[in-house]
Structure 1
Amino acid sequence: MRKYADLHIHLALKHLVDKGLEGRMNIWDRIVYNPEIHKPERAASDQYDQSDLTSLVENNVKIAVVALHPVEIVATKSWKNRLIAKIFFGFEVDRLKKWSKNGVNAFTILNRELAVITQEEGEINTKKTLQNIQKNGDLEAKIAVDREDFDNEEITKIVLSIEGAHALTDLPYNTEGEKLKQEVLKNLRFLQFERNLPIFSLTLCHFANNRMVKQSWALPLPGVTKLIPIPVKRELDAPDFTFNDIGLAVLDQCLNQPKEHRILIDLKHTHVDARKEFYEKHIRNSDGSFKAPILASHCGVSGMPDFAAAAKVKNVKREGKKKKYQRFNPWAINFCDEELKIIMESEGLFGVSLDQRILGAANDEYYRAVRDHLKEQYGKSKWDDFYDKDRLGRIHAAMFLDNLLYTVHKMGDEKAWSCVCIGSDFDGIIDPIDCCPTVKYFPEFEELLFKEFNHLRFRNEENIFIPKDKTLETVLRDVFYNNINNFMKKHIHWYAMDKVELSV
């Protein structure tokens, strides 16, 4: 059975939000996706699981980078926010209300989410030793704590990451300045040097202003929000700085450490202006070498040639539907051509998302072009014989493949095939591609890409630099497993502090 790896999933967010309900009794519990009754869409995201622990183990996902992500204040501040969060993003209203009323802030929520995974009781904010081996009958998974863990490729390994530096503080969301800086660095140091479960990577920001790093526009709200005043909606606006002194201190604390304590930087959600500054000023040593590999964990490409063009794309939902954008999702949250080669040169990883929105499915010009291309490639008769769901699945598969191959094309070297991988964002409140709605579908998705590659490939004229000693089948294996596995073996330098086992 083929092995799989994913650079960005969510494992316990739903289990925390709906704790104690059916399918949420413990980290092994789940709501199984049923294509007959479940729609793989964003608003239905609390009705089934895409990347639960049982499914990871059963479906041979051997490495899963699990993002710990506290819900931001914009989703909890008032009943209006919570209602929109429920209707459009799948968050459970009563739980969000309780968080808001109790003043439970981000670092505590991060630890509560981690406690769901490790099955700890009580608050664990200052607890140094947590359980890292989980068993449920014949099923077993472990949170990776040292380099040797990656030598065993037969066990499912959870690699912890943090999505958003707002997760590092329990202070009120609008705290700024020295008080925020001290709180963030204190909690970051605790995670780096005192807790036994190492943090692999930090996404610097998410969709709200964290008063540290400029975030990318990422949350197009429904039209009803124009009619209903939404409290703290202004928090979605990006600040007028790229990195302030707190953001720079976080970078320094993560990167300028011995490798066994280093935390890699994930640039997803970081504003294009801040990404540009990061590449130019913050990730290189004085001799020009890279301090660390660069991660872009669950992304798409924008098709914009450089930073200047990317920065000009307007932050409105319908911008991606304009006829001038013939391909991809042009929003600046996606990566432009100029930065793709930098990620490759750093020996980093670029995880291609399985979120329809990120891949460009809402771009009408792109959707029609891909559909018409597939109709021509398969032949009108065969295309018409497909069921609607099979046609849609192939459109989504072609968009994923186009994002992947374009990334390789613009990186411009055979080495690109060593740094592209899957970064699904499963269970992160996404609208997954119809051909791969959960981790269970990884094998047939890989098979579809391999067997129908020539039909699904959108731009045959673009060079994709497959190495002479590789085949299409082997580079797809690299994308679905080997690249992440090899990366961990090369760049993880952790050593074990304490290992604790828990069986259900």
Structure 2
Amino acid sequence: MEKIFKIADFHCHPTLKTYGHSFENTRYGIKRRNIWFQQKNSYLRKLVCRNFSVVKFSQSDLLSLKEGNVKLVTASLYPFEKGFFINLRGRGRLSAFLANVIIGVSYYRVRNIQQHLNYFEDLENEYNFFLDAVNLNNEVELYFPRKPEDFKLIKNSNKTAIIFSIEGAHSFNSGLTNYGRETNEKEVIENIYKVKNWEIAPATITFAHNFSNDFCGHARSLDPLGKLVNQNEMLNYGFTELGFKAVNALLDNKNGKIIYPDLKHMSVQSRKEYYQHLDEFFKEERIPILISHGAVTGTSWKNSETVNLDSVFSDSDINFYDEELIHVSRSNGLFAIQMDGRRLAKKSIIKELHSTKNMAFSSAHVIWNHIKHIAIVLDNHDLNSWNIACIGSDFDGSIQPLPGIYSAADFPRLAINLIHLSSAFLSDYNFKNEFNKETTPEKIVEQFCYENLYHFYCNRI
């Protein structure tokens, strides 16, 4: 009998589409706004996903999470940035219709995003939507841990723990200047402290995202959309003065809960400045370096311009360099591997996956390449190879899923495939440090799938 692994996900969007459909007062909208609604996968939907990179099925709805035995869910709240929907297609009804065909959050939601001028109000509304939905119909025994001992409920019951995170510091109401609302420093800082003092405050925030937020530069992320959207403002920039003030407010432990910045989507320059800022001002606090849904480049940032033709990894600088893995490990942080094929490997490798006999196993091998690379880099620097990698799927976040790992329901199969891959690796690789040899395939997979994130939250909540 195959082992059933518990799963923890550091980044997914259970309410992105359901909250979107709360703006649609039709029979269809009312059905889709249920956080337990599951849009079933099918051969046709998989075909659309493969050929057009459009996901027309659920990935992280609460039923899919339950089917995948995901016991610890980091639900990312995300006020959509206006740059997605005010673009070369305009800002009107046709633009909204076309955007909804691709993203599937409802036409009415897209129109709302085009017209409103308050990201923070949107954040609060999604937060309250989730809480109200859980209170109304808690079919899968969701609960919100407030202190470390609350996590024991996962071990001894069928309960599923929900931790909030936020995607994008624009959520505090910045990055709206081009749409008619100037960023106000006092308002931004006040909004940060409001969130830190929510009844159920988020644990982390993906500080940058896809467009300018007036805080720090972002990495290019929307390549498939080409010139349809414009990411150029603050692209590859470093931090602004206001950005450092926002970071300091998030990490302030005297007024509300600490919210840890997550480095995904930051430009390389911003990431380097963030590491330096922590070294200069937070050295004693040992702030964990967190990547909630990332991938590796497989190289050093010292030779980032050199293309390695033999590499299996994507060399996009939204991905992370070997030096950053060291930062994560030494800070007792986490590196969550996302399930987005566009980030995980070169296009040629992803294309070949669809023609393999066992697509799920081949896709698991793509994930394993990242786990293995992290392990080797850390071992070479006399660090624990196995305690920073975890899952950060980004399901329902407009990703291109790997074949066979389409949704949270596929996590159990991923875990079993990783057992076989880690077993072959352990029997063949000669570790530099004895302490990295003293493990088993089952332990490696348990740590990656669940334990690393579980222990992080137990120590930091």
Normalised by the size of structure 1, how large is the TM-score?
0.79
Mapped to 1, the partners of 2:421 and 2:55 lie a distance apart of: 32
- Equivalent residues in 2 for 1:415-494, closer than 5 Å: 415-453=384-422, 463=431, 467-492=436-461
3-state SS of the aligned residue for 2:299? coil
Query: Distance in 2 between the 1:422 and 1:38 partners?
Result: 22
1:327-368 deviations in whole A, cap 9, x for unaligned? Answer: 301011100011111100000010011110110141x3x569
Counterpart of 1:300?
295
Alignment of 1:111-190 (within 5 A): 111-119=124-132, 135-137=137-139, 139-153=140-154, 154=157, 155-169=159-173, 172-174=176-178, 179-190=183-194
Whole-Å separation in 2 of the counterparts to 1:266 and 1:334: 13
1:366-445 to structure 2, matched below 5 A, reads: 388=355, 390-412=357-379, 413=382, 415-445=384-414
Aligned partner of 1:140: which letter? E
CA contact (8 A) 1:29 1:54 kept: yes
Cα distance in structure 1, aligned partners of 2:82 and 2:398: 16
Superposed displacement of residue 141, structure 1: 0.4
1:27 and 1:367 mapped to 2: Cα distance?
31
Cα distance between partner residues in 1 of 2:73 and 2:121: 23
CA distance in 2, matches of 1:92, 1:325: 42
1:165 Cα offset (Å): 0.5
CA contact (8 A) 1:171 1:180 kept: no
Cα distance in 1 between the residues matched to 2:112 and 2:236: 33
Residue 416 of structure 1 aligns to a residue in which SS? coil
Q: Offset at 1:91?
A: 4.7
What are the within-5 Å matches in structure 2 for residues 314-393 of structure 1?
Answer: 324=309, 326-362=311-347, 364=348, 388=355, 390-393=357-360
Is contact 1:350-1:421 (8 Å) kept? yes
SS of corresponding position for 2:36? coil
Structure 2 counterpart of 1:66, one-letter code: A
Q: 1:107 to 1:260 in 2, by over 3 A?
A: closer
CA contact (8 A) 2:387 2:447 kept: yes
SS at match of 2:35: coil
Q: In the superposition, relative to structure 1, how do residues 254 and 175 fare at CA in structure 2: closer, same or farther (>3 Å)?
A: farther
Within the alignment, does 1:243 sit opposite 2:255 as a pair?
no
Q: Deviations over 1:259-316 (max 9, x none)?
A: 9611111000011111111112235556x4453111101100012212x433x48xxx
Asked whether the equivalents of residues 212 and 235 of structure 2 are also in contact (C-alpha less than 8 Å), the reply is yes
Structure 1 Cα separation of the partners of residues 350 and 355 of structure 2? 15
Rounded to whole Å, the distance in 2 between the matches of 1:388 and 1:460 is: 28
Q: CA deviation at 1:400?
A: 1.0
Distance in 2, matches of 1:345 and 1:191, equals 28
For residues 184-227 of structure 1, the C-alpha deviation after alignment (integer angstroms, 9 at most, x for no partner) is: 1111111112x20111001111010111111111111445x4xx
Equivalence map 1:184-223=2 (5 Å): 184-193=188-197, 195-222=198-225
CA distance in 1, matches of 2:61, 2:131: 14
Residue in structure 2 matching 1:278, options 271, 274, 280: 274
Distance in 2 (CA, whole Å) between partners of 1:74 and 1:490 is: 37
Give the 3 Å change call, closer, same or farther, for CA 36–389 of structure 1 in structure 2: farther
Equivalents in 2 of 1:431, 1:188: separation in Å? 32
Which amino acid is 2:62 matched to? L
Report SS of the residue matched to 2:223: coil
Residue aligned with 2:261, SS? strand
Aligned in 2, Cα 1:461/1:148: closer, same or farther, shift over 3 Å?
Answer: closer
Moved more, 180-189 or 391-400: 391-400
Which amino acid in 2 is paired with 1:167? S
Deviation at 1:179, TM superposition (A): 4.6
**Root mean square deviation, CA, Å:** 3.2
Percent of paired sites with the same residue: 25
User: Aligned-pair distance for 1:472?
Assistant: 1.2
Equivalent residue of 2:452, what SS?
Answer: helix
Give SS of 1:205's match.
Answer: coil
Provide the residue aligned with 1:95 in structure 2. Answer: 109
Q: Secondary structure at the match of 2:288?
A: coil
The Cα shift of 1:396 comes to 2.1
**Residues 1:106 and 2:144 aligned together:** no
Structure 2 residue ranges without an equivalent (≥5): none
Residue 414 of structure 1, CA deviation: 5.2
1:487 CA displacement: 1.1
Mapped to 1, the partners of 2:325 and 2:174 lie a distance apart of 35
How many Å apart are 1:239 and its aligned residue?
Answer: 4.9
Corresponding residue of 2:33: 25
Tell me the distance in 2 between the aligned counterparts of 1:221 and 1:447. 32
Q: Give the total of aligned pairs.
A: 441
- After superposition, the Cα gap between the structure-2 partners of 1:477 and 1:89, relative to the gap in structure 1 and judged at 3 Å, is same
The CA deviation at 1:462 is 7.6
Matches of 2:399 and 2:294, distance apart in 1 = 12
Note the residue ranges of structure 1 that are not aligned, 5 or more in a row: 121-131, 314-321, 372-386, 493-504
Deviation by residue 1:157-200 (Cα, 9 ceiling, x = unmatched): 1100111001111783438999522221111111112x201110
Return the alpha-carbon distance in structure 2 between the equivalents of residues 435 and 464 of structure 1.
34
Amino acid at match of 2:84: A
> Which TM-score applies when normalising by structure 2?
0.85
